[in-house]
Amino acid sequence: MTLTTDFTTVAELDSALLRLSAGERRWADLPLTRRADLLQQVAHQAAEQASDWVEAACRAKRISPSSPLAGEEWLSGPYPVITNAATLARSLRDLSSGDSPIAHVPTSVAPGGRVALDVFPHQIWDRLLLSGVSAKVWLKPGVSVTQARSAAGLAQLDPATTHGMSVVLGAGNITSIAVLDTLYELIAHNRVVILKLNPVLGEMFDAINAVLRPLSERGFVEVVRGGVEVGSYLVDHPNVAHVHITGSSASHDAIVFGTGPEGEARRRAGVPKLGKTITSELGGVSPTVVVPTGWSAKDIRFQAEHLATQRLHNGGYNCIAAQVAVIPSEWSKKGEFLRELRDQIDKAPARPAYYPGSDQRVAAAADRHATANARENGRLLIEGLSPDQVAEAFTVEYFSPVLAVVEIPGDGIAYLRAASRFVNERLEGTLGANVLVHPRYRRKLGREFEWFVESLRYGTIAINAWTGVGYLTAAAPWGGFPGATLVDVESGIGLVHNASLVDDTERTVVTGPFRPLSRSLITGQLSITPKPAWFVRNTHAHHVGRKMVAFAADPKATRLPSLFASALRG
C-alpha cells in the first residue's frame, strides 16, 4: 500500500507504530515515580511553549495574539495541560508511596445519599485563581468512600500490565483536548498512544510535539498529522487496540459501524464493524436553565453576558457551548432579559468563522426556524420556542454561533420539574448543563432544588458557572452521563481528565458565584473576581490568561498582585 497524505506516508505511520510497540515494553518497566517525573516535564514543557502555543492557536483561528480573544487560548490551551499533568504526577507519587490519590480529598453527601468528592478548590491558590468556584464529583449510587479510595488509580494500580496501543483522534476546536486525551489514555488506561491531530489545528503540530516530547522521545507517544485517510488507516490497523475520539456522534458511528446505508443497517442491528474498543467525547445540545426569581436589573445584565459567553466562547465551536436557553414563559422581566441577551450577543467581539461549515450551519438553522433572528457578526438567536414543538435546534448540535430560547410555563418547583423533563427528554446529548439561580432562592427551594440537580442526566452540571469551568478543573472527570452504548452513544462513552484517577464517577457539579466582586457578599457568597476571564467581553482576558499560565507553572505569591491588577481591569 502506498497511500500518501498531505503530511504523513504509510511508511511513516508504520514506523511510528513500531516505535510505540517497543515503547510499550519500556513503559511497563517504568516505575511510578519516573512516570510522575515525565508528567512533570510535560507540565514544564507546556509552560515553556505557552507563548508559541497561543500564537499558533491564534493563527489557526485567525485572531490576533494581542487581542483579548487570545485569553481564551491561554486558558483553554496551556493552562489545563499544566494543571492536569501536574495533578496526574501527584496521583502517581501518592500511589508509589502506598496512598490513594484521594486519601485526603474531603467528602460530603450528595443527593440520593451519594458520596461526593470535594475536588476543587484543592489549595489556597485555587481559591484565588478561580475565586468562588467549587467542584464536587458525585460517585455512582452505592459506592462508598472506602471503595472509591481503594479503586483510585485505575490502570496505575497495576502499572506493569499495559493494554496495548491507542489511537487518539484529536479535536479541531480547543487546543488542549488532544494533549489531555493523550495523557489520560497513557495513565488511566496504561496504553501507549499515537495522536492524530485534527487538520483544523494543523498549526498546533510543532507546539504539541514539543509539549509531549518528554514522552515521545522515549517511545510512549507519537504525534502525526493528516486527514480522514490517516485516521482510518490507524483505526483499522491490527496493532492498534483502542480508539479514542473527540468529535461528533456521526464521526463515532462512521468509525464503529461504517458509512452509508450499510453502516446505518449495522448500527440498527447493533453489529459493529470496528473490532476493537472505543471511548469518546461527543458533545451535544447543551442547555442553560434560567431560574430568575429574585434577579435585579444588574443580575439580568450580568447573567445575559454569562449566557452569551456560554454560546460564543471560541466563536461557538465548543462541544459544551450552550445551545438552548430555558426560561419561564410567564417571567415578568422576560422582555428585559431577552433585550439584554440580544445586546450582549451583538456586542461580543467579532471574529472569523474559522471552523469549517460554520456559515452553512447558521444559514440552515435560520431556514428551519421561523422565529430565527439574525444578529451582528453572523450570529443567530432563535426566540419563542415552546418545549413541545419539533425544532431542529433541540436535536442538532450546530457547532456555530446559534442560540435558541425555549419558554416553559410555570414557576417554582413546577417550572424546575418541567425544565428537567424537557432537557432530559428532548435535547440531544448528556455532556453538560448550566443552571443560573439566585443563591437565596436556591436556599429557599432547599431539597427541591437538590432534587432538580440530581434529576439532570448530564456529566457536568454548572450552577452559576459555565460547564467549561469544569473542563479547567484538573481533578474533575469530563464526559457524558453514564449509560451510553455504541448504538445510542449520546455524548460519548468513558471519561477523560480525571487526574485523581477516580473510578465509578457519575457526574461533576461545579458551583460559581452568582454575582461578581462588589455585589457577591449580598448573596452570601464571596467572589474576588469582577468579571471572569473567560467572559467574551473581558477586555483584559489575554493579560489575565497569560498570567494565570505563568502562575500555574510557578505558583509564587509575588505573581499575584500583577494578576489581580489585570483581572480588575477586565
Cell numbers given for 410? 410555570
The percentage of the chain sitting over the pLDDT mark of 90, rounded to a whole number, equals 89
Per-residue pLDDT band for 453 (boundaries 50, 70, 90) equals very high
The pLDDT value recorded for residue 8 is 75
Which tens digits make up the pLDDT trace of 239-282?
Answer: 999 999 999 999 999 999 999 999 999 999 999 999 999 999 99
Closest CA to 475 of 118, 147, 157, 96: 118
Amino acid at 223: V
For residue 460, the cross-strand partners are 432, 508
pLDDT band at 526; cut points 50, 70, 90: low
pLDDT of amino acid 527: 52
> Are 407 and 366 in contact, with CB atoms under 8 Å apart?
no
Q: Is pLDDT at 174 greater than 70 in this prediction? A: yes
pLDDT of residue 321 exceeding 70 = yes
- Helix, strand, coil shares of the chain, percent, nearest 5, are 50, 15, 35
Each residue's pLDDT tens digit, 235-245: 999 999 999 99
In DSSP notation, 201-238 reads GGGGHHHHHHHTHHHHTTTSEEEE---HHHHHHHHH-T
Predicted local confidence at residue 1, as pLDDT: 40
Chain-centroid distance, C-alpha 569: 27
Fold of 10-112+145-281: Aldehyde Dehydrogenase; Chain A, domain 1 (3.40.605)
pLDDT (average), residues 288-315: 96
334-354: per-residue pLDDT in tens?
Answer: 999 999 999 999 999 999 999
pLDDT band at 2 (very low <50, low <70, confident <90, very high): very low
* pTM of the entire predicted model: 0.95
pLDDT > 60? residue 519: no
Start and end residues for every CATH 3.40.605.10 domain found in the chain: 10-112+145-281
Mean of the per-residue pLDDT values of the chain: 94
Residue 9 has pLDDT above 60, yes or no: yes
DSSP count for the chain of H helices, then E strands = 23, 18
CATH 3.40.309.10 residue ranges of the chain are 286-538
pLDDT at 373 > cutoff 70:
yes
pLDDT tens digits, one per residue of 406-417:
999 999 999 999
Task: Dump pLDDT digits (tens) for 390-408.
Answer: 999 999 999 999 999 999 9
Asked if 511 and 453 count as a contact pair (C-beta separation under 8 A), the reply is: no
What CATH number belongs to 286-538?
3.40.309.10
Q: What is the pLDDT of residue 515?
A: 85
The pLDDT score that the predictor gives to residue 4 is 44
Per-residue pLDDT at 531 exceeds 60:
yes
pLDDT (mean) for 179-185: 98
pLDDT of residue 20: 98
E-only strand ranges, 394-536: 402-408, 432-437, 460-463, 477-478, 496-497, 505-511
Once rounded to an integer, what is the mean pLDDT over residues 186-191?
98
pLDDT of 520 above 80: no
